[in-house]
Structure 1
Amino acid sequence: MLQNNPELKSKIDQLWNKFWSGGISNPLTAIEQITYLLFMKRLDELDLKRQSDAEWTGEEYTSKFDGVWVPPERRTKLSGRESSVELVDILTHDRRHYGIDKRSLRWSEFKRMQAQEMLQHVQGNVFPFLKDLNGAESNFTHHMKNAVFIIPKPALLVEAVKTIDEIFEVMERDSREKGQAFQDIQGDVYEFLLSEIATAGKNGQFRTPRHIIKLMADLVQPQLGHKIADPACGSGGFLLGAYQYIVTELAKKAGARDLRIDEDGFVRTSVAATLTEKAQTTLASSLWGYDIDQTMVRLGLMNLMMHGIDEPHIDYKDTLSKSYIEEAEYDIVMANPPFTGSIDKGDINEHLQLATTKTELLFVENIYRLLKKGGTACVIVPQGVLFGSGGAFKTLRQMLVERCDLKAVITLPSGVFKPYAGVSTAILLFTKVWGLKDKVTQPATEHVWFYEMAADGYSLDDKRSKHEGYGDLQDIICRYHARDASTYIDRTAKCFMVPRSEISDEKNNYDLSLSRYKQDVFEEVHYDAPGVILDRLIQAEVGDVDEAELGKVQSGIVRELLALKGTVG
Structure 2
Amino acid sequence: MAISNFVKRIQDVMRNDSGVNGDAQRIEQIVWILFLKIYDAKEEAWELYDDNYTSIIPEGLKWRDWAVDRKDGEALTGDGLLDFVNNTLFPTLKNLEIDETTPMSQVIVRYAFEDANNYQKDGVLLRQVVNIIDEIDFTEYKERHEFGAIYESFLKDLQSAGNAGEFYTPRAVTDFMVKVVKPVLGDKIGDFACGTGGFLTSALNELDKQVGNSLENREIYNKSVYGIEKKALPHMLCVTNMLIHDIDDPNILHGNALEMDYKDMRKMEPFDVILMNPPYGGSEKDSVKSNFPTELRSSETADLFMNVIMYRLKKNGRCAVIIPDGFLFGTDNGKFNIKKKLFSEFNLHTVVRMPHSVFAPYTSIRTNILFFDNTEPTKETWFYRVDMPEGYKNFSKTRPMKLDHFNDALNWWENREEIEVDGFPKAKRYTIDEIIERSYNIDLCGFPHEEEVILEPMDLIQEYQEKRASLNAEIDHVLEQITSMLGGN
Name the SS of the counterpart of 2:292 in structure 1: coil
Matched residue, 1:515? 445
CA contact (8 A) 2:31 2:236 kept: no
Matched residue, 2:364? 422
Whether 2:90 is the aligned partner of 1:140: answer no
CA contact (8 A) 1:457 1:467 kept: no
Whether 2:34 is the aligned partner of 1:38: answer yes
Normalised TM-score (structure 2): 0.75
Name the SS of the counterpart of 2:169 in structure 1: coil
Amino acid at match of 1:39: F
Deviation string 1:162-205 (CA, Å, 9 cap, x unpaired) is 44356x49x99xx9xxxx94333222211211222224549x93
Give the alignment partner of residue 224 of structure 2, picking from 278, 281, 286: 286
Matched residue, 1:477? 410
Residues 393 and 494 from structure 1, CA distance in 2 versus in 1: closer, same or farther, beyond 3 angstroms?
A: same
RMSD value, Cα: 4.0
Query: Whole-Å Cα distance in 1 between the matches of residues 14 and 326 of structure 2?
Result: 39
Residues 63 and 201 from structure 1, CA distance in 2 versus in 1: closer, same or farther, beyond 3 angstroms?
A: farther
CA contact (8 A) 1:456 1:473 kept: no
Higher RCO structure (Cα 8 Å, ≥6 apart): 2
Matched residue, 2:465? none
Query: Whole-Å Cα distance in 2 between the matches of residues 229 and 35 of structure 1?
Result: 23
Whether 2:382 is the aligned partner of 1:382: answer no
Matched residue, 1:372? 314
Matched residue, 2:273? 332
Name the SS of the counterpart of 1:215 in structure 2: helix
Residues 29 and 151 from structure 1, CA distance in 2 versus in 1: closer, same or farther, beyond 3 angstroms?
A: same
Whether 2:288 is the aligned partner of 1:347: answer yes
Give the alignment partner of residue 219 of structure 1, picking from 164, 172, 180: 180
Give the alignment partner of residue 354 of structure 2, picking from 379, 399, 412: 412
Matched residue, 1:541? none
Whether 2:122 is the aligned partner of 1:153: answer yes
Matched residue, 1:243? 204
Name the SS of the counterpart of 1:514 in structure 2: coil
Matched residue, 2:154? 193
Residues 65 and 501 from structure 1, CA distance in 2 versus in 1: closer, same or farther, beyond 3 angstroms?
A: closer
Residues 390-409 of structure 1: matches in 2 within 5 Å? Answer: 390-409=332-351
Amino acid at match of 1:513: D
Residues 373 and 102 from structure 1, CA distance in 2 versus in 1: closer, same or farther, beyond 3 angstroms?
A: closer
CA contact (8 A) 1:458 1:464 kept: no
Matched residue, 1:233? 194
Matched residue, 1:489? 418
Residues 357 and 445 from structure 1, CA distance in 2 versus in 1: closer, same or farther, beyond 3 angstroms?
A: same
Query: Whole-Å Cα distance in 2 between the matches of residues 359 and 101 of structure 1?
Result: 39
| Greater C-alpha radius of gyration | 1
Residues 130 and 281 from structure 1, CA distance in 2 versus in 1: closer, same or farther, beyond 3 angstroms?
A: farther
Normalised TM-score (structure 1): 0.65
Residues 298 and 469 from structure 1, CA distance in 2 versus in 1: closer, same or farther, beyond 3 angstroms?
A: closer
Whether 2:362 is the aligned partner of 1:362: answer no
Amino acid at match of 1:159: Q
User: Taking every aligned residue pair, what percent have the same amino acid on both sides?
Assistant: 24
Matched residue, 1:538? none
Residues 449 and 185 from structure 1, CA distance in 2 versus in 1: closer, same or farther, beyond 3 angstroms?
A: farther
| Structure 2: tracts of 5 or more residues without a match | 451-489
Deviation, structure 1 residue 399: 2.7
Residues 300 and 111 from structure 1, CA distance in 2 versus in 1: closer, same or farther, beyond 3 angstroms?
A: farther
Amino acid at match of 2:16: S
Deviation string 1:432-491 (CA, Å, 9 cap, x unpaired) is 236xxxxxxxxx2233222211247996647432479754223323322x144xxx1334
Whether 2:7 is the aligned partner of 1:19: answer no
CA contact (8 A) 2:183 2:207 kept: yes
Query: Whole-Å Cα distance in 1 between the matches of residues 52 and 23 of structure 2?
Result: 34
CA contact (8 A) 1:405 1:430 kept: yes
